[in-house]
Structure 1
Amino acid sequence: MPHAPPLGTLLPLYGAGTALACEPVDQGLLNRGYRVRTTRGRYFLKHHFDPDTADPDAIERRHLATQRLAEVGVPAVPPLTHREGRTVAVVGGHAYALHPWVEGGHLHGGQLTRSESARLGALLGAVHACLERVMPPKGRTRPATSPHPVESADPADTFTLIDDLLGHVHRHRPADAFDDLARHRLLERRSLLEQHTHRRPPRGGPVGWVHGDFHPFNLLYRGGTPAAIVDWDRLGVQPRAEEAVRAAAIFFVRPAGMLDLPKARAYARAYRRAARATPAELAAAVHRVWWERLNDFWMLRWHYERGDTRADCQFPAASALAVWWTREYDAVCDAFTS
């Protein structure tokens, strides 16, 4: 098994028995996870591999947050504490955490009913409301930080990036279907930005504590009910309504690149009620996330700059969504605010 974790060191540290089986969990793009079966039970072992989030002290602060959230009823999954009294084990310079295994599966918005979509919105609203209760108030005074800064994207920078990516596409030989789609979307996006440059949003509004990466692969369902919210690595202070809109754009995008607006409406209504967010807050968030999508090319940058193709399958729908959203802007805004 590639990148096999040091179970011989980790399991005794946690008093978790002897390993019987260890299988990689493949959904994560930035970290490595393993399903571990031992003589004492089943566990999820997380290797915190992403350098942006792998500092052990920062990981432990996030672990403490999940413990507090679990105590107030949020379906977080706090890690186990090892015999040295910590939740993070550093072995060979790598940070690991051991969590109880939670049975369940991932559901996309297309698999949810309208009422289940409302439950999803209520869940995220409850997460935001509970974070306000359990996290330090002083954090809410800080400006939002990476990966979603308060300052909106500068179209001048985006035009430069588009030209650079078009150069990558042109140089890739032999050209394939992905190159053809990338070229089409880049030219299309440049035209859209030229038409809508004047709509660049101002600096972001109120910020609060957010999960930071709320999407289908970070939510486990069991029997149609949310069982666990996982991967709190991006926990931080951000414009919270933007997280709600950003999550909806992932959960409810259809393969052709349009949002399921009836489900998004049910989701947004429940979110506003649970988070006590105003329609004006959601309207501003819709505008900012639309602009973010119009200027964002992270999937193409992974493909052409890193040679990392793991996100390629998401590109057709995600790139089409920016175009559809621009055309249906008023309908999208209405779904999140009415």
Structure 2
Amino acid sequence: MLCSMLAFVPNDHLKEFVQAVFPARRVSMRPLLSGLLNQNLVVRVGSERYVLKAYRPKVSLKAMREMHRMMAHAVGKGIPVPLPVASGEVGGHAVALYPFVEGTHPSRYRNAPLMRPMGEMLGRIDATLETFKFRMQKPAFEDMASWNPESFLSEIVSMRRSLRSKPKVVRETVARSLDAHENAVAIGGWDKEAFRRLPVRVCHNDYHIMNVLVRGRKVAAVLDWEKAGWGWRGFEVMRSVMFNCRMARGTLDWDRVKTYLGAYRKQAALTDLERELAFECGFRKGLFSLWAEKEYLSGQFQMRDNIERRSRLYPYLAKHRDEFSERVAELLR
């Protein structure tokens, strides 16, 4: 079985960082198997538990500091977010130590009772971040609406060539995903002009079941804020629907979608255009991205399940594109 774990920084260097926070106390660490983009460890200091994150190179020390400022703002507004006990830089990577939060991730498919509290929490987060003074520069429109069918199809061709030297399971997994993306892109209708008028807001940008901990039917913690920043709120909403309201066969459970979006809209306000383009924001941003396939081909084999789910989801969304765009807009009114 193919497997891999991220390790940016030697564990003994990370242990030195923790030991400096807790001098003269016994520290032990073990890898935390969840998480796809950062190096995560569970840390024990006596009877206390923490989570240590060494962030991927894309997350600079400056970006992490701004993220922590945003998280503190959210906590001040009643959002359950674990704040860092210590932070710094180790081996050129931003590093932070967080308190361990008791809870479980919602089930991927059997999570209907959590749709209301999860939708409500996303709405509360968006309403809270509306008042946050984010210090990072807003991206240009071309960076927001970055989809380009011609260059994307060329990228698919290049990735297909790179598969020739890969193991059979890798070739077949990625090829299925590339087929799904390629066929969906071929339907056309990728004009960008309508998106120019969308407001660019501060969003969490990664709100889904694996970044939420629950206890019973209550959201206990919202995790992993490193993607938080400028974005389209419609993307945040629709991407979370695609993650949180999906059935095992790759289709959306519209009863769950209705409950989730109904709870969201009671907490956060969207413009008419944001509602109208919400589905397209999530659909396009996901469809024109091969990040999971790239990570998989680089050796992060835990991405396989993610890729298989995408291979089922995008043909389904493409087939019902117009219908779903109208349904999502209506549920957000």
The residue aligned with 2:58 is 52
Matched, 1:73 2:61: no
Write out per-residue CA displacement over residues 257-302 of structure 1, whole angstroms, 9 at most, x where no aligned residue: 2112211121112212211124541330211222233322222223
TM-score of the superposed pair, with normalisation by structure 2: 0.86
Q: Is the 8 A contact 1:144 1:207 kept in 2?
A: no
Matched, 1:136 2:141: no
Paired positions, count = 321
Q: 1:102 to 1:303 in 2, by over 3 A?
A: closer
Q: Distance in 1 between matches of 2:172 and 2:19?
A: 52
| SS of residue paired to 2:79 | coil
Write out per-residue CA displacement over residues 109-141 of structure 1, whole angstroms, 9 at most, x where no aligned residue: 52322x5212211101110111112x21776x8
Shift of 1:7: 5.8
Q: Distance in 2 between matches of 1:210 and 1:188?
A: 28
| SS of residue paired to 2:35 | coil
- Structure 2: tracts of 5 or more residues without a match: none
| SS of residue paired to 2:182 | helix
- Structure 1: tracts of 5 or more residues without a match: 81-86
Identical residues among aligned pairs (%): 25
Q: Distance in 1 between matches of 2:84 and 2:29?
A: 18
Runs of 4+ in 1 over 4 A off after TM superposition: none
Q: How does 1:1-338 map to 2 (within 5 A)?
A: 3-6=10-13, 9-15=16-22, 18-39=25-46, 41-48=48-55, 50-53=56-59, 55-80=60-85, 87-113=86-112, 115-133=113-131, 135-136=132-133, 142-143=138-139, 149-169=143-163, 171-172=164-165, 175-176=168-169, 178-196=170-188, 198-202=189-193, 203-204=195-196, 205-278=198-271, 280-304=273-297, 306-338=298-330
Q: State the one-letter code of the partner of 2:191.
A: R
Q: Is the 8 A contact 2:177 2:307 kept in 1?
A: no
Write out per-residue CA displacement over residues 11-37 of structure 1, whole angstroms, 9 at most, x where no aligned residue: 453347623532211211221122112
Write out per-residue CA displacement over residues 126-181 of structure 1, whole angstroms, 9 at most, x where no aligned residue: 10111112x21776x82369xx9422401001110121122233x236634x5335
CA RMSD of aligned residues (A): 2.7
Q: Distance in 1 between matches of 2:276 and 2:140?
A: 19
| SS of residue paired to 1:195 | coil
Q: 1:10 to 1:299 in 2, by over 3 A?
A: closer
Q: 1:219 to 1:238 in 2, by over 3 A?
A: same
Shift of 1:194: 2.6
| SS of residue paired to 1:35 | strand
| SS of residue paired to 1:97 | strand
Q: Is the 8 A contact 1:56 1:88 kept in 2?
A: no
Q: Is the 8 A contact 1:144 1:237 kept in 2?
A: no
Q: Distance in 2 between matches of 1:201 and 1:191?
A: 20
TM-score of the superposed pair, with normalisation by structure 1: 0.85
| SS of residue paired to 1:22 | strand
Q: Distance in 1 between matches of 2:284 and 2:19?
A: 49
Q: Distance in 2 between matches of 1:291 and 1:30?
A: 22
